[in-house]
Amino acid sequence: MNSFLNKIFATLAVSATCVLASVDAEMEGMEVVSRDDGTFLIGSPTFYFDRALGAGGIHSESELWTPRKLRYRLLFNRMSILPSWDPIETPSVWMKTGNEIGDLIYQDFLTDNNDRPINRTPILEVGVRTPLFHGFWGTFRLFQDDHYCFYSARSYRMNQVDGPFSFFGDNWPMFSSAYGGLGYTNEFINASVLAGMEYMWIFTESSRWIPVQYKPRIESRADFGNFSATLVYENAEYQNFRKKETGERKEVNGSLVYNCGESCKRGMLQLSAGLAFRFVDDDGVVYTGLENDRVVWPFLEMRFKPMNQLKFDVMFGVNDRDWLVQDSVEYQLPVPEKMNITVGAKNISGTHLNPIADTHEYFDGDTISLTTSGRMNLLQGYVSIEDTLAKFFSVGLRGSFWAEHGAETFDTEEFVDDGIYTFRHGDVARINSWIKGVTGEFWLKLWYKELLNFTALTGFERIDGNEKRFEVNPAEFFVAFNADWLINKTFRISHSLRYRSDAEWNLRSRDPYIVKGDWYWDATFEQRFPKYGISFAGSIIQALGKEVIEAPNGEYSRVRFFCTAKKAF
């Protein structure tokens, strides 16, 4: 290797010391905060715009229903991991706490009242999962994320509900959840029943934060053979204390799925099928509505793999209101063998991105339609190349072109100022013209045994279309440097240093709201004790970047630190 390359590698290795790939998330479902491969704008733990560069289309990932999200939470019209009711698989006990950095402590003695910074807010999580006892296990989890909840939003939300609205503290956090239950696991079945209570603020198309208290929420799951079943009961209480409004929704939802099993996966044709459903019964003032109070959504997944290098994937769902198709084809070129060249295409077509979501929102006498006529079509073709040039070094690139017609958007008819917030009237609509995009991504990976994994990646995207009608104009450019160090198999340092260019919200305020591009740095330091199954970790998130509001009616994304302790049984 020549000296020039040596210098490059040395430089990159040094860079790796100040960057990561697997920084711990402050809460399960908040991984988006540290994502570096696209546009990720956090309004609160219960609402964010998450779109990977190169995903195609102008929607965010959480807006799109897919079968893999069957056990996600449906928060209004978005599929969300948080608050997760996935039981932690490992028998263990864990605790997590942290705070946005910047409390005054003794600086308060030197600071005038008017110059005090806004109060910083914490997170908290405690949980346990017991070891198996004759196949039975128990679990309990309490978690709330008080970030993104202070400043203007707090006073507004305090007046919206009757009394405190969380399990702990006086911050009126955007969610606070607690549940516990029992499960049974053996080689044939994995089943659980969990029950709990939740406080949640859900963001809607009108840009309102609506308080919902689930009291109780009960979720049962069973995975047996090739089947997965989920059944949920929710008693959701709604209120607007200022307007003296109350309402209640009793909901039963769930799914039943047949998964392609092990022997099925070895075949040329792989089939899975399932059914998702929701039944609701509203009483009093409930701010959203589901047409006919029910939705039943049967779907089919198919993979056709005539040879190792070629595969077709199709997901098709249909009911009396909507249909949705997500399909793709991918071919790996057999030559040159080591280059790993893949060409592919994907398509998403349908009447609605999320066919199981509510269909209406009710806002001060107005009914906001959350569905619209017509259909969307997203087509994307791509090529990716990844080449391992040495035993410690690989490079890759991916380029794609996409075009979308009928993209879902929102036609705003009127903005309403409500003191602190700006709301909107209107309806979900379509952009019935073609939007085109071209993307390019390049990455470089370096690794040395398990000591170091380093990735540098960058991407750009150029979109051409009626951008003023996009909910969000995604960032055009990002660059990220990620590294994981594992020293002596027991000390992990994970870094992520990244830059994202400007992104812009167009439709939730009178003037476009620009989220300026910035650098961010996240890091996790973890002590591991393999013999004892113990982990102590500290993480700092959103450092370097200027503290800004990333979504209209959202709250500041602040630098925070949290620590985690886990012990496996």
Contact set for another protein, span 115-174 (CB under 8 A): 115-117, 119-120, 122
Q: Which is nearer to another protein, 240 or 270 (CB)?
A: 270
Q: How far is the CB of 67 from another protein (least distance, A)?
A: 6
Contact 504, 472 (CB under 8 A): yes
Q: Is residue 43 within 8 Å of residue 551, measured between CB atoms?
A: yes
What 3 state SS string does 218-279 have? EEEEEEECCEEEEEEEEEEEEEECCCCEEEEEEEEEEEEEECCCHHHHCCCEEEEEEEEEEE
For another protein, the closer CB: 112 or 337: 112
Pick the stretch among 39-47, 172-180, 290-298, 524-532 that binds another protein (CB under 8 A).
524-532
Q: Name which of residues 56 to 75 contact another protein (CB under 8 A).
A: 56, 66-68, 70-71
For residues 234 and 219, the answer to whether their CB atoms sit within 8 Å is no
Task: Indicate the residue among 15 and 328 with the shorter CB distance to another protein.
Answer: 328
Judged by CB, which is closer to another protein: 247, or 399? Answer: 399
Smallest gap from Cβ 239 to another protein, in A, equals 27
Distance from the Cα of residue 323 to its chain's centroid:
24
Query: Nearest 5°: phi and psi at 111?
Result: -120, 130
Q: Site residues for another protein, window 415-474 (CB under 8 A)?
A: none
* Phi and psi, residue 292, nearest 5°: 60, 10
Q: Based on CB atoms, which residue is closest to another protein, 62 or 372?
A: 62
CA distance 240 to 260: 46
Q: Which is nearer to another protein, 257 or 286 (CB)?
A: 257
User: What HEC string does 83-152 produce?
Assistant: CCCCCCCCCEEEEEEEEECCCCHHHHHHCCHHHCCCCCCEEEEEEEECCCECCEEEEEEEEEECCCCCCH
Q: Hey, what are 55's tokens?
A: 């995903």
Q: Would you count residue 532 as binding another protein (CB under 8 A)? A: yes
Residue 413: CB atoms within 10 A of its CB come to 11
Least CB distance from residue 73 to another protein, whole Å?
A: 12
For another protein, the binding residue among 17, 107, 155, 309 (CB under 8 A) is: 107
Using CB under 8 A, which of 98, 254, 350, 355 touches another protein? 98
Footprint of another protein on 336-375 (CB under 8 A):
342, 344, 346
Contact 406, 373 (CB under 8 A): no
Residue placing its CB nearer to another protein in the complex, 125 or 504: 125
Chosen residue from 2, 113, 263, 308 binding another protein by CB under 8 A? 113
Among 14, 105, 449, 511, binds another protein (CB under 8 A): 105
Binding test (CB under 8 A) with another protein, winner from 38, 43, 45, 54: 54
Q: Which of 8, 10, 18, 104 binds another protein (CB under 8 A)?
A: 104
Closest CB to another protein among residues 429, 568:
568
Which of 176, 359, 535, 542 touches another protein (CB under 8 A)? 535
Instruction: Give exposure, 526-551, as e/b (b: 16+ Cβ within 10 Å).
Output: bebeeeeeebebebbbbeebeeebbb
- What part of residues 258-277 is at the interface with another protein (CB under 8 A)? 259-261, 272, 274
Nearer to another protein, 188 or 532 (CB): 532
Minimum distance, C-beta of residue 198 to another protein, in the bound complex (Å): 19
Contacting another protein within 173-202 (CB under 8 A): 190
Nearer to another protein, 120 or 278 (CB): 120
CB 533 within 8 Å of CB 487: no
Which of residues 161 and 314 has its CB atom nearest to another protein in the complex? 314
Smallest gap from residue 72 Cβ to another protein (A)? 9
For residues 427 and 430, give the distance between their C-alpha atoms in angstroms, rounded to a whole number: 10
- Among candidate residues 456, 438, 335, 351, the one with its CA nearest the CA of residue 395: 456
Which range in 82-90, 205-213, 417-425, 472-480 contacts another protein by CB under 8 A? Answer: 82-90
Query: Within 380-399, which residues bind another protein (CB under 8 A)?
Result: 380, 382, 384
Q: Which of 15, 28, 215, 248 binds another protein (CB under 8 A)?
A: 28
**If DSSP codes are grouped into helix, strand and coil, which group holds residue 292?**
helix
Name beta bridge partners: 47.
Answer: 44
CB 290 → another protein: shortest distance, Å? Answer: 24
| Inter-CA distances, 364 with 208, 291, 423, 517, Å | 11, 19, 11, 36
State whether residue 435 is helix, strand or coil: strand
Phi and psi at 46, nearest 5°, equal: -100, 5
The tokens describing 166, both together, are 């969380």
For another protein, give the closer residue by CB, 213 or 384.
Answer: 384
Binding segment toward another protein, per CB under 8 A, in 84-92, 124-132, 240-248, 417-425: 84-92
Beta bridge pairs of residue 427 = 411
Q: Which of 435, 436, 438 is nearest to 460 (CA)?
A: 438
Q: Which is nearer to another protein, 167 or 362 (CB)?
A: 167
- Three-state secondary-structure class, residue 26: coil
Region of 201-209, 308-316, 508-516, 548-556 interacting with another protein (CB under 8 A) = 308-316
- For another protein (CB under 8 A), the number of binding residues is 77
Among the listed ranges 97-105, 193-201, 421-429, 506-514, the one in contact with another protein (CB under 8 A) is 97-105
Q: Which of 106, 188, 419, 511 binds another protein (CB under 8 A)?
A: 106
Exposure letters 472-483 (e unless 16+ CB within 10 A, then b): bbbbbebbbbbb
* Cβ neighbour number for residue 445 with a 10 Å cutoff: 18
Q: By C-beta, is 274 or 554 nearer to another protein?
A: 274
Residue 430 and residue 337: Cα distance in Å, rounded? 44
Residues 480-499 that bind another protein (CB under 8 A): 488-490
